[in-house]
Amino acid sequence: MTILEVEHLRKTYGEGPRATHAVGDLSFSVSSGEFVCIVGPSGCGKSTLLKCMSGLLPASSGEVRLAGRRITGPPPAMALVFQEYGRSLFPWMSVRDNVLLPLRHKGLSKDEQRRLVTDSIDEVGLTRFGDHYPWQLSGGMQQRVAIARALAYQPEVLLMDEPFASVDAQTRSDLEDLILNVRDRYGVTVVFVTHDIDESVYLADRIVVLTPAPTEVKETLTVDLPSPRDQVATKELPEFAHLRAHTYRLIMRPSDHEDPVGATAGAVAHGSPK
Residues found near another protein in the complex (CB under 8 A): 51, 54-56, 74, 76, 78-80, 82, 84, 87-88, 90-92, 101-102, 104-105, 133, 135, 149, 153
Closest CB to another protein among 59 and 251?
59
Of 78 and 213, which has the nearer Cβ to another protein? 78
Tell me the closest approach of the beta carbon of residue 28 to another protein, in angstroms.
Answer: 21
Closer residue to another protein (CB): 161 or 205: 161
Q: Nearest approach, Cβ of 84 to another protein (angstroms)?
A: 5
Peptide bond into 102 cis (omega under 30): no
| Minimum distance of another protein from residue 248's CB (angstroms) | 30
Report, in Å, the least distance between residue 87 CB and another protein.
4
Smallest distance from another protein to CB 80, Å: 4
Instruction: Kindly state the helix (H) or strand (E) to which residue 182 belongs, with its residue range.
Output: helix 169-186
- Are residues 85 and 146 in contact, defined by beta-carbon separation less than 8 angstroms? yes
Find the shortest distance in angstroms from Cβ 104 to another protein.
8
Considering beta carbons, is residue 24 or 55 the nearer one to another protein? Answer: 55
Judged by beta carbon, residue 76 or residue 266, the one nearer another protein is 76
Q: Which residues pair with 23 in a beta bridge?
A: 11, 215
User: What are the φ and ψ backbone dihedral angles of 268, each rounded to 5 degrees?
Assistant: -65, -45
Q: Which helix (H) or strand (E) holds 119?
A: helix 110-123
Closest to another protein by CB, 24 vs 130, is: 130
Which of 234, 233, 217, 216 is closest to 225 using CA atoms? Answer: 234
CB nearer another protein, residue 104 or residue 274: 104
Q: What are phi and psi of 204, to 5 degrees?
A: -85, 155
Contact 74, 242 (CB under 8 A): no
Tell me which residue of 118, 71, 69 sits closest to 95, measured CA to CA: 118
Question: What distance in Å separates the CA atoms of residue 211 and residue 218, rounded to the nearest whole number?
Answer: 6
Strand ordering across the sheet containing 20-31: 20-31, 2-13, 61-66, 69-70
Measured from the CB of residue 142, what is the shortest distance to another protein in angstroms? 13
How far is residue 189's CA from residue 157's CA, in Å, rounded to a whole number? 5
